[in-house]
């Protein structure tokens, strides 16, 4: 029985590792990116399912608009930072040039002081004092005074440009964080829509099979069911091809980057696992503590979305539709749509056990992971004993 909830169940976190404020914020954002939806796709009335499809599309459209606006704001901030950097470089060059000019002026005054102030020079305590006084007197000349004014103004402009660049850098950093968050929220909305579409396909299969079973004993009811499911299928197909549906032409840019970049985590017994930088420390602690308990884990983590695109091209076809739109069930063999795997975000690991193959439910590795992995923020995908991620998906 397929069920989608507005707030999905969060795996229990041990008292030793309570969610951080950042994790709580991310969970709130994730929930906000999901449409308020809680229906049983197998049992709900057709009208309820149809409304759910519309709600999901409206939510994805809103998240797409937010992501586009955030990306535009980031681009503008990056451009402003580049402009501020160029202005700062120009100001630095101007100050350096004026510094050189004033240094040369003072040196010249020292080497060749004007003699009209000879009496004042002789009254000075030393020749160096005399040179300085002579230089100061010479600075009173219009040209030299103007040069010093230019230097002072350039230094003031340099300070202003330094502050402007710092402010622009802060804004650019904030805009990038907002854009990354909006992109992740869009991915969440797309993921919810994709999950519902998959559940709806199962519903269509079930209902159409029932129609076939009823054809001999109640042809009218059979035809009614077929017509209802045909309408749902048409709405689902329209959603999938409307621009941001679960199997739409999603450009590679929609696939969120690995949070915190990529990091390589060494396995205690050799080898390494590449994951998102955001979870690298947690994974390293898990591997270390498992090894201390006699459980030797390693495995595979991040999977480049380009690799999934290549698999889709091999199993589904080379057109944009085949790569980004075709339902996974229509590929041979069935192949996930790029961007739907936690591996492509660096947030999932397929563990190997004690130097052998992937973890099985009967292994000591699975027993240890079941008892302890949640302490490190990893949760199992029930149908795959070896697959553990930050979401359990």
Taken in order of first residue, the domains within the chain and their CATH numbers are 1-11+20-248 (1.10.287), 254-303+341-393 (3.30.1380.10)
User: What span, in angstroms and rounded, lies between the C-alpha atoms of 78 and 247?
Assistant: 32
pTM for the model:
0.43
Structure-block tokens of residue 10: 């969060």
pLDDT digits (tens, 9 = 90+) for 260-303: 899 999 999 899 999 999 999 999 999 999 999 999 999 888 87
C-alpha distances (whole Å) from 59 to each of 37, 200, 298 are 11, 18, 39
Report the C-alpha gap between 24 and 45 in whole angstroms: 35
| pLDDT value for 291 | 96
DSSP element (H, E) containing 12: none
pLDDT digits (tens, 9 = 90+) for 71-107: 788 888 888 888 888 888 888 898 888 888 778 766 7
DSSP code at position 254:
G
Is residue 15 within 8 Å of residue 170, measured between CB atoms? Answer: no
Residues 6+ apart with CB under 8 A from 113: 121, 130, 131, 134, 135, 138
Q: Label residue 173 left, alpha or beta by phi (over 0 means left) and psi (-120 to 50 means alpha).
A: alpha
Nearest to 360 by CA among 332, 390, 380: 380
Tokens of 60: 């994805």
């Amino acid at each position: 029985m397929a069920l989608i909830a507005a707030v999905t169940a969060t795996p229990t976190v041990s008292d030793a590792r309570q969610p951080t404020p950042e994790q709580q914020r991310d969970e709130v954002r994730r929930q906000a990116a999901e449409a308020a939806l809680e229906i049983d796709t197998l049992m709900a009335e057709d009208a309820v399912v149809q409304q759910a499809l519309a709600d999901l599309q409206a939510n994805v459209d809103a998240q797409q608009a937010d992501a586009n606006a955030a990306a535009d704001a980031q681009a503008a901030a990056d451009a402003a930072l580049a402009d501020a950097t160029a202005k700062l470089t120009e100001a630095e060059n101007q100050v350096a040039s004026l510094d050189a000019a004033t240094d040369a002026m003072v040196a010249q005054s020292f080497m060749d002081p004007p003699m009209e102030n000879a009496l004042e020079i002789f009254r000075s305590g030393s020749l160096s004092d005399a040179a300085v006084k002579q230089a100061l007197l010479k600075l009173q000349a219009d040209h030299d005074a103007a040069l010093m004014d230019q230097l002072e103004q350039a230094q003031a402009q340099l300070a202003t440009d330094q502050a402007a660049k710092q402010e622009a850098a802060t804004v650019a950093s904030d805009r990038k964080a907002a854009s990354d968050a909006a992109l992740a929220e869009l991915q969440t909305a797309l993921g919810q829509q994709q999950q519902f579409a998959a559940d709806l396909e199962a519903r269509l299969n079930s209902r159409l099979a029932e129609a076939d079973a009823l054809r001999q004993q109640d042809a009218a009811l059979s035809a009614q069911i077929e017509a209802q499911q045909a309408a749902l299928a048409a709405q689902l197909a329209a959603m999938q091809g409307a621009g941001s549906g679960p199997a739409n032409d999603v450009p590679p840019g929609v696939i969120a980057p690995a949070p915190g970049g990529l990091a390589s985590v060494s396995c205690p017994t050799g080898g390494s696992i590449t994951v998102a930088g955001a979870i690298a420390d947690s994974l390293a602690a898990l591997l270390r503590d498992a090894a201390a308990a006699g459980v030797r884990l390693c495995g595979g983590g991040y999977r480049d979305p380009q690799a999934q695109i290549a698999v889709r091209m091999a199993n589904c076809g080379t057109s944009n539709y085949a790569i980004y739109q075709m339902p996974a069930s229509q590929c041979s063999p069935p192949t996930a749509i790029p961007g739907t795997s936690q591996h492509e975000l660096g947030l999932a690991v397929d563990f190997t056990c004690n130097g052998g193959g992937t973890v099985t439910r009967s292994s000591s590795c699975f027993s240890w992971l079941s008892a302890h992995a949640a302490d490190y923020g990893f949760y199992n995908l029930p149908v795959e004993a070896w697959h553990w991620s930050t979401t359990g998906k």
